[in-house]
């Protein structure tokens, strides 16, 4: 009997994952093989040698993925911008779409540093820390704060920060607390957030999200899922300096509601929606008005 090659095993795994409904079967089959081989990646044109026991270990992790356990939970990491973050069950898995949210915060922080400022950046609902750590690592000179209501997320962000070689202040806190970071009222330059925002009746279809991401990180509260996002806006209105920037992720169907909610605070101008990597309207962007109640210009969807 011919011994299966690494390519044969990866091809078979990709077919199995495709049949199970996995969205990126070939990518995941390759990533799992690299994980079992303890390599950053594999090349099937010049494949590495397959050690004894590989087939059984590979079959085990492929079966876990076939049952729709998140790839990131199996391999233990997720790529986010220039970082490799540790990922664990009980903490929201960072998504590539959120990299554009981080980019807006990075750009604003870099602009301020270029003007000679030492900006204060706050990441609310930080999860595994992707946004906060991206700002801290890409824009030296920032003072970065990361906050989450989950002790597991706070612990994971601290460990990810240590591995990234950055030192943000990471705190346990609820964005709905009106005293959260009150010592920074009116002193924050950028407030960025990927809060929970899913409405209660919009249970995610993908098992990786529905069955593995914590409800605390998914459901935003209220009939429209925007209770926590509105709390983020309220915190931004309180914390941001005049002209400070709010950047907040939301669902693509919530763009108009998010803009309306931001304007209703009376605290923001230049309210607009920015697209994610796929062009979907996924991010609220607004500036803190110089005075509360300043008239807002026409809303923009781009």
Angle at alpha carbon of residue 62, lines to 87 and 213, rounded to 5°: 35
Angle at alpha carbon of residue 135, lines to 285 and 160, rounded to 5°: 125
Which helix (H) or strand (E) segment is 162 a member of? Answer: helix 151-164
CB-count exposure of residue 232 (10 Å: 0-12, 13-18, 19+):
buried
Give bridge partners of residue 169 from the DSSP assignment.
145
Cα–Cα distances in angstroms (integers) from residue 126 to residues 92, 134, 169, 217, 290, in the given order = 9, 11, 12, 10, 27
The pLDDT-based confidence of 245 (bands split at 50, 70, 90) is very high
Average pLDDT over residues 174-201: 96
pLDDT reported for residue 300: 53
pLDDT reported for residue 296: 43
Average pLDDT over residues 159-163: 98
pLDDT reported for residue 297: 46
Question: Which tens digit of pLDDT belongs to each residue from 40-70?
Answer: 999 888 888 899 999 999 999 999 999 999 9
Separation CA 53–CA 74 (nearest Å)? 18
Would you state the structure tokens that stand for residue 86, as one six-digit string? 């540790």
CB-count exposure of residue 82 (10 Å: 0-12, 13-18, 19+):
exposed
Among candidate residues 185, 301, 274, the one with its CA nearest the CA of residue 237: 185
The pLDDT-based confidence of 302 (bands split at 50, 70, 90) is low
Separation CA 236–CA 31 (nearest Å)? 39
**Distance of alpha carbon 218 from the chain centroid:** 12
Question: Which tens digit of pLDDT belongs to each residue from 2-30?
Answer: 778 999 999 999 999 999 999 999 999 99
What does the mean pLDDT of the chain come to? 93
15: left (phi over 0), alpha (psi -120 to 50) or beta: alpha
Tell me the CATH number for domain 89-288.
3.40.50.150
211: left (phi over 0), alpha (psi -120 to 50) or beta: alpha
Range with the poorest average pLDDT among 15-19, 56-60, 124-128, 197-201: 197-201
> Considering just the CA atoms, what is the radius of gyration of the chain in Å?
21
The pLDDT-based confidence of 301 (bands split at 50, 70, 90) is low
Average pLDDT over residues 137-141: 96
The pLDDT-based confidence of 294 (bands split at 50, 70, 90) is very low
Average pLDDT over residues 90-96: 93
The pLDDT-based confidence of 214 (bands split at 50, 70, 90) is confident
Q: What is the DSSP string of 215-284?
A: HHHHB-SSTTS-HHHHHHHHHHHHHEEEEEEEEEE--GGGHHHHHHHHHHTT-EEEEEEEE-TTS-EEEE
Give the three-state DSSP class for 18: helix
Parse the chain into domains and list their residue ranges.
Answer: 6-67, 89-288
Residues with Cβ within 8 Å of residue 256, at least 6 apart in sequence: 301
- Token match 């983020």: residue? 232
* 8 Å CB contact between 34 and 10: no
- Token match 């079966």: residue? 63
Average pLDDT over residues 261-288: 96
Average pLDDT over residues 131-153: 97
Among candidate residues 77, 30, 79, the one with its CA nearest the CA of residue 58: 30
Statement: residue 291 has pLDDT above 80: no
Percent of the chain with pLDDT over 70: 96
* CA count, 13 A, side-chain hemisphere, 61: 24
10 Å Cβ neighbour count for 278?
10
| pTM, two decimal places | 0.90
* 8 Å CB contact between 15 and 25: yes
């Amino acid at each position: 009997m011919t011994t299966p090659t690494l390519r044969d095993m990866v091809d078979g795994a990709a077919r199995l994952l495709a049949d199970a409904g996995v969205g990126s079967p070939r990518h995941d089959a390759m990533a799992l093989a690299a994980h079992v081989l303890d390599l950053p990646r594999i090349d099937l044109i010049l494949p590495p040698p397959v050690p004894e026991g590989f087939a059984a270990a590979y079959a085990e992790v492929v079966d876990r993925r076939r049952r729709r356990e998140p790839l990131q939970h199996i391999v233990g990491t997720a790529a986010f911008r220039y970082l490799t973050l540790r990922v664990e069950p009980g903490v929201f898995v960072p998504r590539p779409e959120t990299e554009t949210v981080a980019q807006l915060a990075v750009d604003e922080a870099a602009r301020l540093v270029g003007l000679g400022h030492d900006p204060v950046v706050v990441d609310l609902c930080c999860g595994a820390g992707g946004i906060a750590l991206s700002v801290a690592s890409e824009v030296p000179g920032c003072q970065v704060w990361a906050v989450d209501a989950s002790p597991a997320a706070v612990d994971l962000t601290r460990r990810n920060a240590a591995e990234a070689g950055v030192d943000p202040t990471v705190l346990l806190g609820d964005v709905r607390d009106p005293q959260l970071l009150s010592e920074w009222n009116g002193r924050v330059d950028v407030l960025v957030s990927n809060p929970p925002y899913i409405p209660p009746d919009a249970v995610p279809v993908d098992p990786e999200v529905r069955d593995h991401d914590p409800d605390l990180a998914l459901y935003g509260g209220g009939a429209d899922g925007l209770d926590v996002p509105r709390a983020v806006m309220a915190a931004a209105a309180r914390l941001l300096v005049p002209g400070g920037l709010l950047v907040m992720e939301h669902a693509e169907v919530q763009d108009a509601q998010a803009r309306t909610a931001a304007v209703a605070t009376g605290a923001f101008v230049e309210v607009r929606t920015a697209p994610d990597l796929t062009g979907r309207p996924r991010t609220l962007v607004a500036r803190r008005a110089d005075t509360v109640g300043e008239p807002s210009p026409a809303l923009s969807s781009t």
